[in-house]
Structure 1
Amino acid sequence: MKHKFYLLHDLPGRLRLHIPAIENQNYEEVQSLFSSLKGIEQVRIEPIIQTMLIQYNSDEISRNHLLRSVSLFFHQGTFNPLDRFIGHIKPNVRRGIFRSLIAGGLLLVAYLQKSSYKHPTALTYCAVIATGYAVLSHGTKNKLHHPDILTGILSLGSLGPANILHGALVTWAVNVLELVHEMRDNQVVYL
């Protein structure tokens, strides 16, 4: 789902949102509507840069209630609770982080289980597949130039099929480093 707004900054009693759809709205009416909510102290819309600054009294209206109101007004389907921590990161990078967390969890469980089995189990293959999906699903440019894909190919080739879990772990670690780099490059600029 394409997001309708992004948190630019979130301070107690003050939110700044980037809302691309605001250019299609009568911003004076939007400003008047949100100003009429109980607990809202000031609403300022900058239509040229598509931002809305909302100053509010946190004793009268909660941050999440306010974000749900914005979400409903701009037809945002759901509000992700993780936005509090990673709301300033663009959605495509957030999806990559989520996939990488799942792959990392599966790798951890597979490694813990590995000591009790001599041969790869279904869990091992699931962890490797999840890692491959996490690596291949992010980015839009030539995927063969991504460092995590190159590392995966080299590590699986050099370690051999018997050490498939080790190869997946090395690939996952490089994928995490690449995601950290993308997070810094793809943050929404604070205004």
Structure 2
Amino acid sequence: MRGIFIVLEGPDGSGKSTMASMIGEYYKQKGREIIFTREPGGTKISEKIRNVILDNDNSEMSYNTEALLYAASRAQLVSEKIKPLLQQGKVVISERYVYSSIVYQGIGRKLGIDKIKLINDFATNDLKPDLVLFFDIDPEKALNRKLSSNNADRLENEKLSFHREVYEGYKEILNYYDEIVPINADKKANELFNEIKNIIDNLN
């Protein structure tokens, strides 16, 4: 049985974690083995890099450094975890992947889509997901959800204008990546999952 790689993308607070859990449970009922991961993070090394990236004390971090740290964290995750698990026929569900770097650093930080794509193609050895779900929801509404339940990290603490640029960036890259499927995330969890279920049923 071949492995399946599903990525969940969207603004902070758009419901990715909830849907990841529901998708995982659905696949378990089908007899598949599920592995959840997140970005940045997912391995011992990647989690250490995550702590550096998101630490509010690191306000002086340059945008180039930020982009390279995300790519480094991702490189370790792909080589240590994602690729081997897919080769074993498992279902890997990741909250965020290369697309986040393209919109957050490439567009939001204005480093350029092509530069971010280049370093991440190298980091991932061109590994592409089978499906990318873009959770389409107004960034202010999503961020309010997030901030009401957690302490904000360095990226979440950015101005709303930055989060709006990121959101528009996601809308822009829908034109470039066929694997991204946009879904309206401004609805109840069960409604949203039913829509997702129809999409993932067409993967096999």
Please state which band the TM-score falls in when normalised by the shorter chain: under 0.3
Q: Which has the higher contact order (CA 8 A, sep 6+)?
A: 2
Please give the TM-score of this superposition, normalised by the length of structure 2: 0.24
Query: For the pair shown, which has the larger CA radius of gyration, 1 or 2?
Result: 1
